[in-house]
Chains A and B, each alone.
Chain A
Amino acid sequence: MSDPHAFFILASYAITALTCLGLIAWVVLDHRRQRAVIADLEARGVTRRSGRSS
């Protein structure tokens, strides 16, 4: 990019991309963590009331 303000433009896009990727990573990792904890609790015999009735 030959624009005299290329640093400001690319830095803006880089910060935005990093923030969006951070949000995506947070959501994906949090989902995995919650799933893993639920699987662990179920393996120990803990079930939800609604889970038992279904």
Chain B
Amino acid sequence: MALLDLANPTRFLALVQRALPWLALATAVLFAAAVHFAFFVAPDDYQQGGTVRIMFIHVPAAWLSMACYAMMALASLGTLVWRHPLADVSAKAAAPIGAAFTFVCLATGSLWGRPMWGTWWIWDARLTSELVLLIMYLGLIALWRSVDDPGRAGRAAAVLTLVGTINLPIIKFSVDWWNTLHQPASVIRLGGPTIHASILTPLIVSALAFTALFVTLHLAAMRNEVLRRRVRAMRLMEAQREMPPAGAQAAAGAG
């Protein structure tokens, strides 16, 4: 199916209707496998002990917090350059999900940092830039809510989203550019992963589960946004129907 075919919201809704049950099933199976791997297969780390299990949720949440924003940036290009009708819908639907994953990343990072670093929080580059990402998500959500016209809100949010992409390389490379308590990249790096397979496999399974959850929730939220815009259009039509024609108004005013 061509991307252009999905520009038709009715066709998109039909596709989502068919795909969602299978995606939800795949997500549930992957999460069951992820929990099994995390608590019954993965060994304790020789230095961090059982707290390494926090990594299986912290790292996928961090990856998705950035991947979701990158996807919103691509959707913003779709809004501003190609004016694809679903691009703005996609970006708007993704923002709360991205915010939630960023919150999970920060909360689990804090819970991991307390026993390992001895502190809940430190204002270093990695943690601060991730917090900035959460604030950007919340700002975008507020922007979409504050402008009544979805088209205008979408274009303004698209510009802001594209400006905010400057934060993504800062998050990624902050551990290399500045001194930080946070460990450097150990999975997505040029020399390959530095993590043992017994820990890496549960991490990959968990990342797949989180990604499946993101895709499922994003498609469902996009469907809701299409319906919300349908409701708005219907309410406008109802308001127009209840308003007397302009000529009748003028005649009533003259009489």
Contact = CB atoms under 8 A, between A and B. Distances in A.
Given A20-B213, A37-B231, A5 B51 contact: yes
Contacts of B217: 23-24, 27
A33 to B, nearest CB: 9
Contacts, number: 93
Contacts of A13: 53, 57
Interface in B78-133: 96-97, 100, 103-104, 107-108, 111-112, 114-115
Interface of A: 1, 3-6, 8-9, 11-13, 15-16, 19-20, 22-24, 26-28, 30-31, 34-35, 37-38, 41-42, 44, 46-50
Contacts of A38: 227, 230-231, 234
Given A8-B112, A23-B100, A44-B238, A34 B231 contact: yes
B23 to A, nearest CB: 12
Contacts of A31: 220, 223-224, 227
Contact of A5 (B50, B104, B221): B50
Interface string B213-255: 1000100110110011011011101100100000000000000
Given A12-B111, A15-B104, A35 B227 contact: yes
B54 interface: yes
A42 B234 CA distance: 9
Contact of A27 (B108, B220, B238): B220
Contact of B107 (A12, A35, A48): A12
Contact of A46 (B103, B115, B237): B237
Interface of B: 10, 44, 49-51, 53-54, 57-58, 61, 96-97, 100, 103-104, 107-108, 111-112, 114-115, 213, 217, 220-221, 223-224, 227-228, 230-231, 233-235, 237-238, 241
Given A5-B49, A30-B221, 6 more contacts: A3-B49, A8-B111, A8-B112, A9-B53, A13-B53, A15-B111
The residue in B220, B238, B241 that gathers the most chain A C-beta atoms within 10 A of its C-beta is: B220
A28 B224 CA distance: 9
The residue in B49, B53, B241 that gathers the most chain A C-beta atoms within 10 A of its C-beta is: B53
A6 B111 CA distance: 11
A6 B50 contact: yes
13 contacts: A1-B50, A3-B49, A8-B51, A12-B58, A12-B112, A15-B108, A20-B100, A23-B96, A23-B217, A27-B217, A31-B223, A31-B224, A46-B237
